Amino acid sequence: MVVWAKVPDRNGHIKQNPRPLLITAVHPTNKKAPFVANGISTRLDDRAFDPTIEMPSDPKTGAELGLYKRCAVVLRWVLVLDQDRVVDVTGTVKQEFLAYVLKRIEQIRGLLPP
pTM: 0.90
Domain contains 18: yes
Domain contains 94: yes
The CATH code of the domain that includes 102 is 2.30.30.110
Domain contains 11: yes
Q: Looking at residue 40, what is its pLDDT?
A: 95
50 by Cβ neighbours in 10 Å (0-12 / 13-18 / 19+) ranks as: middle
Distances in Å between the alpha carbon of 20 and those of 29, 49, 72, 110, 112?
25, 21, 10, 26, 27
Q: Looking at residue 12, what is its pLDDT?
A: 86
Q: Looking at residue 11, what is its pLDDT?
A: 82
Digitized pLDDT (tens) for each residue of the chain, 114 residues in all: 999 999 988 788 888 899 999 999 999 999 999 999 999 998 877 666 789 999 999 999 888 899 999 999 999 999 999 999 999 999 999 999 999 999 999 998 886 666
54 by Cβ neighbours in 10 Å (0-12 / 13-18 / 19+) ranks as: exposed
CB 109 within 8 A of CB 102: no
